[in-house]
Amino acid sequence: MIPKIIHYFYDDVNIWQKDKKSQVRMCINSWLKHCPDYKLMLWHDKMPEFQEIISKSPFVKRAYELKLWAFVSDYIRHYALYKHGGIYLDTDVEVVSNFDKFLENDFFISIEGDILFGENIPEPAVMGGVAGHKVFKECMKIYESEDIFSIDNFIANVIMKKLLQEQYGFTRLSFKTKSQESRAGKYFDPLVPTKQLDDYDLYTHECIWQDKSKTITIYPCEYFCPTWCVFQNKSFTEKTVAIHWNQSTWWDDEKIYMLKHNKYPVEHICFMKKLEHVLQKIFCLTNSSDGKYKVITLCGVNIKIKRKHNA
């Protein structure tokens, strides 16, 4: 049985003093309100074991150096659940009911509203499991491997999608009737990179998925990740237990570029990015293939230099 522990990660132990935005505190208060008998366990970089934890993964260590906290938390959530069991929540998750009825699962998660190449995407902003569950261990292995740097999209939900598909055969949820399955076909086109389910009848009639051994349970998005950006208030149903507000405040193109190019020191890439801006101002290049820019290579880094257009 999953223990009554809520794990969360934040980049400062002084969570109540640091963040000027009220949403984090409002979300945590919702956990306390609806799960009063659950233990809250904050994970942060001042913990005695933190450096030892991140040293297991070059990817996470690099993310920590860059202060890309979301990518640090992507590993920490699996570590915390593997070691202790419980439920992990992102700090932009509001809870509207308790998780008691989900504690009999070995592992649970829900999908999000987006569909990627005809398949559902699991959303690990809310997930739970027993200590020692294989899913957490296998996800940790992905983050601990150098291979993660070669993955085109290494955000947490895509990593989880890859794992659940390859090891458990999960691709998407089914629907309750043949008519609904037929209508859903247009949303699950394997040739379309991204679609969003905007049919409310289908949204409220997705079926819960389990693997054959029933060690993995995947819920429709209305449970933990309602599609409020599509259905507004209607997205919150009697099944809704949590709402992922999906703030994405962590996104930083330049830092993610640095994380991706792990073989270069952070200072090296910062210098190259600055040099790129300088060269764009200095050079007037006319010999690029499309007339817009030329790619040159300096110190192993490709730099695009835009062509100046004379007035």
Q: Looking at residue 305, what is its pLDDT?
A: 54
Q: Look at residues 121, 197, 133 and name the one whose alpha carbon lies nearest to residue 162.
A: 121
Q: Are residues 297 and 220 in the same domain?
A: no
Q: Are residues 100 and 136 in the same domain?
A: yes
**CATH value at residue 23:** 3.90.550
Domain span holding position 296 = 264-306
Q: Are residues 42 and 77 in the same domain?
A: yes
**Mean pLDDT, range 222-233, rounded to an integer:** 95
For residue 257, being part of any structural domain is answered with no
pTM of whole model > 0.85? Answer: no
Q: How many domains does the chain have?
A: 2
**Mean pLDDT, range 101-110, rounded to an integer:** 98
Q: Are residues 197 and 236 in the same domain?
A: yes
pLDDT band at 100, cuts 50/70/90? very high
Q: Are residues 43 and 181 in the same domain?
A: yes
- Dihedral through CA 17, CA 23, CA 25, CA 26, nearest 10? 150
Q: Are 122 and 171 in contact (CB under 8 A)?
A: no
Residue 204, pLDDT > 80, answer yes
Q: Are residues 270 and 141 in the same domain?
A: no
Q: Looking at residue 294, what is its pLDDT?
A: 57
Q: Are residues 124 and 246 in the same domain?
A: yes
For residue 207, being part of any structural domain is answered with yes
**Which DSSP category does 149 fall into?**
G
**Phi and psi for 135 in degrees, rounded to 5?**
-55, -45
Q: Look at residues 48, 50, 38 and name the one whose alpha carbon lies nearest to residue 9.
A: 50
